[in-house]
Structure 1
Amino acid sequence: MRRGLDDAAIRLLSASKKDQHANGELRRNVARILRHALEQGSAVDIDGLGTFLPGRNQGFRFVAPTKPRVFIAYVEEDLAASKKLYLAFEQHGFRPWLDKKKLMPGQNWPRSIETAIESSDFFVACFSRRSTTKRGSFHSELRYALACAARVPLDEIFFIPVRLEDCVVPGRISKKIQYVDLFPDWDKGLKRVLGVMQGQRANRKRKRLPLAG
């Protein structure tokens, strides 16, 4: 953990408010990590909250995230394609979340993943013949994301299914949500996904603008 504190950026997942109030020791430990990292000149990125940057005279400044967050759900066998999506989203102004890049040793993985899904603006589920038949965390993430999607305003898009190959998307999803094929033309499919997210981003910005008059 201390070795991680010497990295250019230190990534931590925020605990839930309930956990923070219930465990004062956790809050003190997080505060010590923040202070130590900032003193070492490192930035501390807390998912769903923002980034603490070192400032002058041992101070710091906080920068709230402005890029839309995108959670990428996948199975281990599709990691290469998921990383390709991660890079594409990052290059187009989004803030993707992939467990292999964000989770740290010792973290409560199930709770950290739920927190990441809750705080995301979009949830991209990668379907393949492997993911539709394999038991495991992928399907748990799908169920949790569907529950989160039920709380999203009706005119907003949160859950975006993509197919990496010809496969059957679970009926609970395909009957209600249109999926995007990333095959046989990856670039064409990616363009559609980006178009949806960029359009939603613009719509949400317009909603936040104060009404004239």
Structure 2
Amino acid sequence: MLAFDYVRDHWCLELGIALGSLEFAFQNRNFDDTDLGAQVRASERESIKQVDAILAELSVGRLRSDYKDFGELMSDILARLGDEQMWNLTFIGICVARLRLALAMDGERQKALLAAARQSLDGAYSLQARDRDEVFDSLLSATATTATAAARVLEGHATPSSSPLNSISHAPSRDTSSKRPTAFLSYARQDSESARRLAHDLKNAGVDIWIDVEKIRPGEHWQSAVSAAIERSQYFIAILSSRSVTHRGYVQAELREALELLRQVPESETFLIPVRLDDVEIINRDLKKLSWVDLFPNWSDGLRSLIAGLGAGSSEPVSAMIAGVSSSTLTASLFLGWQLARYEIIQGSEIPEAQAVESELRSEIEVLLEGRGDRISLVGVSARQAIRRTLARALGRDLGEHGSILIGIAAFRVQLVGKSSDPANNEELRQLVFSALLDVDPSVVPNKHALFEELLDERPTTVAALTQMLRRRPSHAKRSPDA
């Protein structure tokens, strides 16, 4: 099932994600609130455009205009898909869309959406129930909220066997030889917001994180799940703060279990890592003996130290794959990403200067794409769709090319950070920069946080400067304090 035809199968995942967004708009199209209702209807129109564009890429026609409900629309689309692979991947894409929505929620709402995300995989009928569970767990563990991230997860678990994920081991033993470190995150409810933030940051650095709010499914015996996860994990991260250090609850039982396991671990091997959120005094005698990490007063500095201690990926922002690419090839991919990001800003602008160059920039991007063998007309195509199409084709050819385009997009976006007088706008722009790096394969950018910070610090204003920054020898690159 998972022997990927990158272009076609990537579009199937994109189709599922677009359908998931359209489903949400269908469900909320009758909102009474005037402003919110208008936003939902606008979202529905945009989602329909996306679905139509993807159907065109897959050469299976266009949407009709007379669907009574979302179920009829889904039935029509699924009837057009040519084989089980396309069907399965479309449902996995719907699961990804629901996961993305769930991870933006919390509490009971999040649990309900996670259950709905898992339920969507039941549409992938040619997968066994156990395989569907493992696909869901893998997508959730990797926080796969894009088609590219989902494709990496699925391809990473592909095997010659009929079970797409039978290489995953569920034995309750600590595997210290894994290429991706695994860590159990222990925290008190008072620190849940910081725990979620840390889990998100560590996942982006290549760490497989076990955190209860994401891993325990509805109806599961949670105490057994927690104990098994602690025993399986390579690391146990204990989050401590002045708000929670004296808190009574199950977090203390988790810590006792980890300390018991620590006694079985050789002193030369790291297992339990205390992480402080503030200047709390560590009272536990066993914890006092261990070196801890402080996420204050600077979260980023502490995070770098923790990532280095976990051995996640690399302390270097980019891998040797970038250094091995010729300057002309690297510059061409970075330049394409840079120009796509420019087009994203300029397209549809009411500023006369932007309108004057939009057509010229569109033609230039088409020439760049044609030079790669991608004949894509951008007339009538949104910049976002152009970026998706470009990345889908690049992913089918080479991970380095795909990653370099995304780095170019991030580098152009970083020029805009700090230009607004509104702090909220600047924060949103920072998130847009990092979102471009999220989809870069870890073999290209093993430490996304380090590259993100380097882009913000150096702000290369030309593609040539960006190429020079990326091709610096490792000895000249930034290192975390503990690397």
TM-score (norm 1): 0.69
Give the equivalent residue in structure 1 for 2:296: 183
Alpha-carbon deviations, 1:129-152, whole Å to 9, x = none? 122111001111100011111112
Unaligned residue ranges in structure 2 (runs of 5+): 1-113, 139-153, 169-177, 315-483
CA separation of 1:194/1:132 partners in 2, compared to 1, >3 Å: closer, same or farther? Answer: same
Alpha-carbon deviations, 1:181-213, whole Å to 9, x = none? 111111111111111111899xxxxxxxxxxxx
Match of 2:163 among 60, 64, 88: 60
Give the equivalent residue in structure 2 for 1:69: 182
Larger Rg belongs to: 2
Name the structure where helix makes up a greater proportion of residues.
2
Q: For residues 72 and 134 of structure 1, what CA distance do their matches in structure 2 show? A: 16
Give the equivalent residue in structure 2 for 1:43: 135
Task: Give 3-state SS (helix, strand or coil) of 2:311's partner.
Answer: helix
**Mapped contact 1:127–1:164 kept (Cα < 8 A):** yes
CA separation of 1:106/1:54 partners in 2, compared to 1, >3 Å: closer, same or farther? Answer: farther
**Pairwise CA RMSD of aligned residues?**
3.4
In the comparison of the two structures, how many residue pairs are matched?
A: 172
Instruction: Report 1 or 2 for greater relative contact order, CA contacts < 8 Å, sequence distance ≥ 6.
Output: 1
Alignment of 1:118-197 (within 5 A): 118-197=231-310
1:42 Cα deviation from its structure 2 partner? 7.4
CA separation of 1:123/1:108 partners in 2, compared to 1, >3 Å: closer, same or farther? Answer: same
**Mapped contact 2:276–2:294 kept (Cα < 8 A):** yes
Task: Give 3-state SS (helix, strand or coil) of 1:60's partner.
Answer: coil
- Which amino acid is 2:252 matched to? H
**Mapped contact 2:184–2:211 kept (Cα < 8 A):** yes
**Mapped contact 1:53–1:60 kept (Cα < 8 A):** no
1:84 Cα deviation from its structure 2 partner? 1.0
Identity of aligned residues (%): 30
Alignment of 1:2-13 (within 5 A): 3=116, 5-7=118-120
Give the equivalent residue in structure 2 for 1:105: 218
1:45 Cα deviation from its structure 2 partner? 3.6
1:180 Cα deviation from its structure 2 partner? 1.3
Give the equivalent residue in structure 1 for 2:311: 198
Task: Give 3-state SS (helix, strand or coil) of 1:72's partner.
Answer: strand
Q: For residues 159 and 264 of structure 2, what CA distance do their matches in structure 1 show? A: 38
**Mapped contact 1:128–1:165 kept (Cα < 8 A):** yes
Give the equivalent residue in structure 1 for 2:172: none
Give the equivalent residue in structure 1 for 2:201: 88
Unaligned residue ranges in structure 1 (runs of 5+): 10-33, 202-213
Alpha-carbon deviations, 1:82-140, whole Å to 9, x = none? 11111111111110011001101111111110100000011110001122111001111
- Which amino acid is 1:104 matched to? R
